[in-house]
Amino acid sequence: MWFKNLRLYCLAQPFELTVEDFEAALAENGFVPCSSYEKERIGWTAPLGDTAPEGDEAQAGAAAPMLTHVVGDYIMICAQRQDRLLPATVVREATAEKVAEIEERQARKVYRKEKREIQDDVYAALLPRAFTRSSRIHAYISRRDNLLVVDSASAPKAEEFLNLLRDTLGSFPVSLPDSKVAPSAVMTRWLNNGKATDGFVINDDCELVSPKDASNVVRLKGQDLDGEEVKVHLEAGKQARHLGVVWNSQVGCNIMEDLSIKRLRFENIREESEDYENETPAEKFDQEFALMTLQLSDFLKSLFTAFGGLEDPGKKLLPDNRKKED
């Protein structure tokens, strides 16, 4: 279980809920597949997924898989989403056929309001026959670092995960990491100096943007960032919007201007974990989770230090964007 991207949320207060109470709360919002007439569903599922014990290890009548996976101060959870795939083009084509049939049979014109009603009826008729697609988002709560770490490159998907957690717990006050020094300013300084700080080494990937014109973007990949081309862009006033780095020869990634992390790579520790050939899938999951969280804890501390530390998360709490019932 190796995360590939990180969306970070700072907890406004320590997470003091017991694992037993947390488990019970998650169970009340467990994942249930879409019914025939539902377009989407989301809920909690076991983080271990298919790595849960099977065969002789799973006894008849055993309790349901745990919705939390705990290693030390880290609690892994997993949200599962299911969507019914009904393309808008299919609905439009079926609606057009229905409208044409009515106009020909009844020798009259079908107008806009009736077309919308027909389209709604067509949608309701087709939805139960639509294929379903499921996806999962893993995350963990670090009680040690007061962080929620979501494995997602997409801000909307991470926000959906956060809203599910808020629905589950009633409230979950968090903020995005707000560094005391702007990340773009620090990464631009690193490029100007030709070297980074706090254990980071500049890699061969960056994106430069003009602060005066957001459409004026230069993307560089797989080339020497200490070369003349980059210096020309920096002298013209461009700033780093994201930058590829390697930290302590252990973690490679792209740091984004909002302190999210993309293209996360674990260099040596991932190779070490693959040497455990005799472990069961569940044991391997547990081993990888322990190695990953300990490594990321140190990595994130260096990351925040490099950008001057973080402001008090209680000052800029994210708004609760859950859909309110009428």
- How many domains does the structure of the chain reveal? 3
Whether 156 and 21 map to the same domain: the answer is yes
Cα 12 to Cα 9, 73, 148, 183, 312, distances in angstroms: 9, 17, 11, 21, 8
Helix (H) or strand (E) holding 306: helix 281-306
Whether 25 and 123 map to the same domain: the answer is no
Q: 160: which residues sit within 8 A by CB, 6+ positions away?
A: 42, 79, 81
Whether 111 and 142 map to the same domain: the answer is no
pTM: 0.88
- 144 near 74, Cβ under 8 Å? yes
Residue 320 covered by a domain: no
Whether 167 and 192 map to the same domain: the answer is no
pLDDT tens-place values along the chain, 326 residues long: 899 999 999 999 999 999 999 999 999 999 999 998 899 999 999 999 755 554 444 444 456 789 999 999 999 999 999 999 999 999 999 999 999 999 899 989 989 999 999 999 999 999 888 999 999 999 999 999 999 999 999 999 999 999 999 999 999 999 999 999 999 999 999 999 999 999 999 998 999 999 888 889 999 988 888 888 899 999 999 999 999 999 999 999 999 999 999 999 997 776 666 666 667 888 889 999 999 999 999 999 999 999 999 999 988 999 987 765 54
Domain hosting 116: range is 88-128
The Cβ of residue 248 has, within 10 Å, a number of other Cβ atoms equal to 15
Residue 219 covered by a domain: yes
Residue 207 covered by a domain: yes
Whether 114 and 247 map to the same domain: the answer is no
3-state secondary structure of 162: helix
Whether 61 and 200 map to the same domain: the answer is no
**d(C-alpha 36, C-alpha 40), whole Å:** 10
Cα 312 to Cα 146, 159, 163, 181, distances in angstroms: 12, 21, 22, 14
- What the block records as the tokens of 93 is 């084509």
Tens digit of each residue's pLDDT (9 = 90 or more) over 117-141: 999 999 999 988 899 999 999 999 9
